[in-house]
């Protein structure tokens, strides 16, 4: 099993990229993780993380369940 570690900063950056593109700015909405040598949270290989809007991903099914305390505010 592979793990991808995203910090709060990574997550907020991706959300900001989505907001910027929704506002008309240009962004690839990606972060590239290179840190395969981190002493505690290494990734197995260079990884590209692509952020996409829910409406673009969930075209053929609804999103899966998450703990009720973790529901996004717009999804409650």
pLDDT band at 1, cuts 50/70/90?
confident
C-alpha angle with apex 27: 35 to 8, nearest 5 degrees? 45
66 within some domain: no
Q: What is the pLDDT of residue 38?
A: 95
Q: What is the pLDDT of residue 75?
A: 66
Taking residues 30-51, report their average pLDDT.
94
Domain of residue 12 covers 1-53
Q: What is the pLDDT of residue 24?
A: 96
Instruction: Record the tokens describing residue 41, joined without a space.
Output: 């949270």
More confident residue, 76 or 25: 25
Query: In total, how many domains does the chain have?
Result: 1
* Nearby residues of 20 by Cβ (< 8 Å), 6 or more positions away: 27
Residue count (the chain): 76
Instruction: Kindly tell me if the per-residue pLDDT of 69 is higher than 70.
Output: yes
3-state secondary structure at position 13: helix
26 within some domain: yes
76 within some domain: no
């Amino acid at each position: 099993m592979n793990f991808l570690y995203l910090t709060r900063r990574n997550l907020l950056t991706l959300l900001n990229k989505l907001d910027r593109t929704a506002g008309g700015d240009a962004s690839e909405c990606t972060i590239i993780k290179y840190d395969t040598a981190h002493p505690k949270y290494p990734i197995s290989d260079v990884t590209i993380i692509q952020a996409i809007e829910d409406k673009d991903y969930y075209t053929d099914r609804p999103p899966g369940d998450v703990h009720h305390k973790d529901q996004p505010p717009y999804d409650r």
